[in-house]
Structures are given as C-alpha cells and as structure tokens.
Structure 1
Amino acid sequence: MTDRIPDMPRRLVAEALGTGFLVAAVVGSGIMAERLTDDVALQLLCNTLPTGAILVVLISTLGPISGAHFNPAVTLGFALRREIGGGPALAYAAAQIAGGCLGAVAAHLMFALPPLQASVTIRTGGAQWFAETVAAFGLMGVILAALPRPATVPWVVGLYITAAYWFTASTSFANPAVTIARALSDTFSGIRPADVPAFILAQCLGAALATAVFGWLLRRSG
C-alpha cells in the first residue's frame, strides 16, 4: 500500500478546524485568565501556555492531513517555495480565516459572551509592527529549519510561540487569520480592527523574508 495525499476538501477542513481550535484556545484562555486574576502578567502567562500547548497537539494530529499551516503567512512562505500552488494557497488562506473566525465565536459562546464583537484594544505603532515582522520571521524560520525532522515541528512551533509571547512587544500574533479573528473579540486577546492591516502586512513580510533567508541558509552546497 502507498500513502495517499488527502484530497483538497479534507485538507481545507483540517486547516479550518486547526485554525479554529487555535483561536478558541487563544481567545478562550484569555477570557478565563481575566476571570481568574487581575494580575496582567499572570493573565498573559495563562494565555501563553494553552496557546503553545494547543499548537503541539494540532500540528501533531492534523499535520499529516494538510501540513498544518493554520496561518496564511506560513502558506505564503510555502507558496514562495513553490511547494503549494497559488490556487490551493488562496483556498488554504480562506479556510484558515473562516476557521479562525468560527473559533472566536465558539470561545465567546463557551463563556456566555456575545458571539461577535469588535475589539477596542489598540495595538499599533512602529515597535508593534516590527515585533510582528520579527515574530513571523522566526516562526517561518523554525518551521523551515525543522522540516527535515518532521517529528520536531510541533514542538519547535509550540515552544517558539510560547517564547515569542514574551519577547515581542506585540505578544506574537504572527498569523493573519488569527489576527482577523482576534479583531472579532473584545477580550484580553483582542486587537482593534483598524490595527489589523498593518499587523498582517508585517506578518507576511516577516514570513517572506524568512523564506528567503532560511532558503539560503539551509541550502545544501555541492
């Protein structure tokens, strides 16, 4: 028997499902953190750990189906490497965004909040945009570096995001689909809709730069 690559509908459902659970973890843990403590540093820690943990789980379980991008910036990186075509890449991004938005709705419903909200949390400015560029650059870079050892990918991604929550000024959104979904949540993890486009531009720039730099860095000579 030979392994078959899953068909596109299953791949898209996996991308939507994975991004949905990721956003539900980000938003839901932020809501829980706000209800448990008034200490902002502790709230951030309570938001960080579930996010890193769910990434390990989702990439491990759904990776064999879709590749577990769960992130249009990561899909962009693989498109630049010509490992996914333009049409499938756009379909992936659409599935990721739709799944992420549904994940935010699910998180709200679990905590008896209005399903759709508009965040008022301001996240803007040069430092935040640079932080998102760095966050996405690092994320794409560690993915590419870990690819030759597939079993390590869930762990390096989960651990990287856990760390990047704390060393980036933006708390490392690093994902356009998650950014859009978080704009629909006026909770701890939200972002004002007006601030979303600049974040997405920075994330895509970071992923594209990492694709070029790590493509060169990891290229075998000879």
Structure 2
Amino acid sequence: MSFRHRFTATAFATLCGSLLLPAATAEAAPPRPGIAVSGRVSAGHVAIGGSVELTGRVTSDGSGRPLPVTVLAHTAGGPAGYQKVAEVLADPDADYRITVKPRANTSYIAEVRGFLARAASEPVEVTVDRTITLDAPPQAPDDRSALFSGTVTGGGRQPVELQRLDGDQWHPVASASTDDTGHFAIPVRLDHRAASRWRATTPATTALGPGTSSALLVRPS
C-alpha cells in the first residue's frame, strides 16, 4: 500500500473513531431561579369606609428588574372569582406595600409574574364591620321609659339588639330593626335609681361583619 493510501486510510479511521466516540457530557444549565410572593394585611377587621395596608415580599426571578405585584380581590356579594384591583412595583429590597379599601368582606391575593414563572400568595381575609352609633335617651318621663336611638351603617333593614351590662356580662334587653336609612329607636324601661351601661349590636352577614356600638353610661335622673 502506497504512503498516500496509508495516510488516507489512517485519516478515515481517525474520522470514524471520532464519530463513534461518545460526546463529552455538557454541564447542566443551572436551574432558573423561581419567584414567590407573600402577603399579609395590617388588620383583619376594618370598619366600613376604612382601609388596610397589604404588604409582603417578592422573591425575584433573578433578572434583576423590579417585578410588578398585582393585587387580586374577591369581595363577598361581588363578581365570581378574583378581580384585579391594583398593581404596584416591589421596592429595591423586594418588599411591596399598598393600601386597599374594601367595601365588604374581601379576600386578597398578591400575584407576580416573571420570565416563564408565576407565583401567588396565600389569600388573606379582611372583614368589614358595621359601625353603630347609640345616642343617650332624653330625660325619662314619670313612667321611667327611655328611648335609645342610633344608626347602623351598611344598609337598612338590619336587626339591632340593645344590651345592658350586668356585672361583667352583657345581656340582651330589647331588639328592633333599622329603617331604610339605617336608623333605629328602641324603647325600654330604666331603673333610675342607679347608673347603667348600654350598647347596641348587630350580627354579621355574608357581606359584612358584626357591629357593636361604644358603651353608653346612663346616669340616674
């Protein structure tokens, strides 16, 4: 075999060997950092018309860019499912903070979306409580009757219970319903020989939490 033939055969064998040898194992790509988000509220109860602060922390997707946090809410008596109510960017420390004003009992979720990733916080619940005012009765006439009155926020035609403090326990004395404007009036007989403390309450509904007025001190006339 001539030198040219030997060289060609050797080169061909070398080429075939390189094709048959297993390729070097490539290094596994590092996993893409995931994202996560937490959520909490400053208070689990708020009066009608009040607001709460929703805060939390975002675990970045490694892109180095701030991630927008979308706040979703499901309100009792509202549309089905969660609806977008706000959006805020996490700060350089990966924290976010936003004030929300629920109209009724509401569940909030914070959601973040990164590159090929999505995360949502656990739901946090906010109960919106009714507020009640209770007005002192005017000077009672000789029959010792008195008229307690007040207003309940959050809609009319709501039950109201008038309670008196006996020792360290509140006991129901009388009840009524509010009118269409939320106003109520409850007549009771008073013992004018001693001071007494009174309050008004209204129960929770699907959309709103319960309400309790401030205690009212009635002194002897």
Please classify the TM superposition score into its range, dividing by the shorter chain length.
under 0.3
Higher relative contact order (CA 8 A, sep 6+): 1
TM-score between the two structures when normalised by the length of structure 1: 0.19
More helix by share: 1
TM-score between the two structures when normalised by the length of structure 2: 0.19
More strand by share: 2
**Which structure has the bigger radius of gyration?**
2
